[in-house]
Amino acid sequence: MKILILNKTEFNNFMKFNDITDENVEEKNVLIISINNPVDMGWFTTRAKGDPKSYFKRNHSNVMIQHFPDYEENMTLDMRKRGVYSVFNERKAKKIYEFIKKNRDKSMAIIHCAGGISRSGAVGAFIYDLYGHETMTWDQFKRKNFKIQPNDYILKLLHEQLKNDKYTKNES
């Protein structure tokens, strides 16, 4: 699986250039993970459908829309203590892992976040660890996605899902 990690502007341009829309995305041989910041409305943080910042307005089998900020582990734990729950956690890691497994037959993974560096970099590096090595070397992956600096906490939680999955399979 080829892996392309983009920032928000690059993603929007890529989608337009390749004519990928809400109407035809399921016909495309891609998996897309769109990582957005939570919509902050003061005391209330939402991941409401129809998020004006999201490229996709409908659900699709090959598109996952996630909302979480780019926090490291210590910041995430601090935010949870304050009652902010739209941070990256084990539940989100499991959802992303299951989505990737479900779409493992796709020829390309397109992942974006605001900067295309940390959050999407972590998810992209994780996908490379799962399936990317089948179609590209690590050097090719890094050349294509040269600006990534994967968020260690996100990558750690994703890899824990993989370990849990392998452990579960070995137990049966």
Domain count, the chain: 1
CATH of the domain at 18: 3.90.190
pLDDT, tens digit, 9 for 90 and up, residues 54-89: 788 888 999 999 988 887 777 766 666 666 657 888
- Residue 11's closest CA among 134, 1, 30, 103? 30
31 phi and psi angles, rounded to 5 deg: -115, 140
| Residue 110 burial (C-beta neighbours within 10 Å; 0-12, 13-18, 19+) | buried
pLDDT for position 51? 59
- Residue 53's closest CA among 114, 129, 133? 114
pLDDT for position 42? 41
The whole domain housing 79 covers 2-171
Return the half-sphere exposure (C-beta side, CA atoms, 13 A cut-off) of residue 65: 21
State the Cα–Cα distance between residues 130 and 110, nearest whole angstrom: 15
Are the C-beta atoms of residues 8 and 114 closer than 8 Å to each other?
A: yes
Are the C-beta atoms of residues 88 and 153 closer than 8 Å to each other?
A: yes
163 phi and psi angles, rounded to 5 deg: -60, -45
pTM of the prediction?
0.86
pLDDT for position 133? 81
CA distances to 53, 98, 130 from 134, rounded to whole Å, are 33, 19, 9
Residues 6+ apart with CB under 8 A from 20: 14, 28, 30
Three-state SS at 113: coil
Give mean pLDDT in consecutive 10-residue pieces for the chain, a chain of 172 residues: 94 96 96 83 44 78 91 71 73 96 96 95 96 86 94 95 76 51
Element containing residue 41 per DSSP (H, E): strand 39-41
Edge-to-edge strand order for the sheet containing 63-67? 2-6, 108-112, 30-36, 63-67
